[in-house]
Amino acid sequence: MQLHVLGSAAGGGVPQWNCGCKNCTAARAHRLPQRTQASLAASADGKAWVLFNATTDIRAQLNSDPLLAPRSSRATPFGAIFLTDANLDHCAGLLDFRQAGELAIYSTQAVRETLLRNEIFAPFSRPPRAWHVIDDEPVDICELRISVIPVKGLLPSYAGSASMPGAASAYLVEDLRGARVLYAPIFASVDDKLASTAARCDAAFFDGSFWSDGELIALGLGTRTATMMGHQPVAGPEGSLEALRACPCPRRLYTHVNNSNPMLDPASSEAKQLEDAGFEVVSDGTVIELPEKVRARA
């Protein structure tokens, strides 16, 4: 399986256009890597691709990745697009697919309903496009098997911020050779299901939005905590790092990192803590090729 990390930042990217925080200032001056908003492309054969989340950076992300270029006069590189939630930084890029003919979108019912309340997304649910609800049954597509892993999460603030089933999901991606990946860029807590799924994966991506719960408030960048936005912070006794410290997955990567997060600076003590625990902060453009393995599918 091939994985292309198209983007690795939370909403706004790094630098965010209206942000003068330390990380954004450093990224603007190229002292830290610039990052677009988090999105992942996966392929079993390097030809047919599946996309996880479509951000407002999708056009630039596609145009900078030769493997995702169209293979005929009009062609969509993706056999399907899977959405983890209805936050606009994960879905607004769908609008850039308006020139597509056939297009298959997959999400939970809660995400589908939330987005289709806005007429601007309605064309994506009409033929020749299709907006499928993914539930307990895995989807076999492009020689990948994709299963939804429910996680605790909130509806976006524009939809009322309610905690409800299906508001956020992770995805387990498996290929025919037995390679497994978990994509979990948003969750309110690591529960048993998420931890046990990560434990049997070859690589796992986790929500790295915020280092600490009150980070935005402490830096004067916002008024809400990570928890209020449906993100489990990385650090602290209640953080995802502690919850995943013993996870045996050989490649544990934080993605969807907000520009306020101190772990973005490789010289920081926070980045050192991650490294010591065996975690990485993934960067835009990272390509992961999972080795061929002989392993029966569970």
Distance CA 74, CA 24 (A): 37
Asked if 229 is part of the footprint of Zn ion (rule: CB under 5 A), the reply reads no
Partners of 129 in the β-ladder:
103
Kindly report the CA angle at 229 between 92 and 190, in degrees rounded to 5? 105
- Binding-site string for Zn ion from residue 63 to residue 102, where x marks contact by CB under 5 A and - marks none: ------------------------x-x-------------
Asked if 258 is part of the footprint of Zn ion (rule: CB under 5 A), the reply reads no
Piece of the chain touching Zn ion by CB under 5 A; list 56-64, 105-113, 256-264, 274-282: 256-264
- H/E segment holding residue 40: strand 39-43
Kindly report the CA angle at 229 between 225 and 235, in degrees rounded to 5? 55
Total binding residues for Zn ion by CB under 5 A? 8
Joined tokens for residue 69:
């270029």
| Of the candidate residues 9, 24, 68, 249, the single one contacting Zn ion (CB under 5 A) | 24
CB 85 to Zn ion: min, Å: 8
CB 92 to Zn ion: min, Å: 11
Asked if 19 is part of the footprint of Zn ion (rule: CB under 5 A), the reply reads yes
Asked if 21 is part of the footprint of Zn ion (rule: CB under 5 A), the reply reads yes
Distance CA 1, CA 23 (A): 33
CB 10 to Zn ion: min, Å: 5
Please report the DSSP string for 94-132 in residue order: GGGGTT-SSEEEEE-HHHHHHHHTSGGGGGGGSTTEEEE
- Whichever of 2 and 23 has its CB closer to Zn ion, that residue is 23
| Of the candidate residues 259, 264, 270, 271, the single one contacting Zn ion (CB under 5 A) | 259
CB 37 to Zn ion: min, Å: 7
Distance CA 18, CA 25 (A): 11
- Whichever of 2 and 169 has its CB closer to Zn ion, that residue is 169
For residue 249, which of 190, 171, 195 has the smallest C-alpha distance? Answer: 195
Piece of the chain touching Zn ion by CB under 5 A; list 20-28, 148-156, 163-171, 210-218: 20-28
φ, ψ of residue 223 to 5 degrees: the values are -115, -5
Joined tokens for residue 206:
């986790």
| Of the candidate residues 3, 4, 11, 241, the single one contacting Zn ion (CB under 5 A) | 11
- Whichever of 9 and 288 has its CB closer to Zn ion, that residue is 9
Q: Given the rule CB under 5 A, which residues bind Zn ion?
A: 10-11, 19, 21, 24, 87, 89, 259
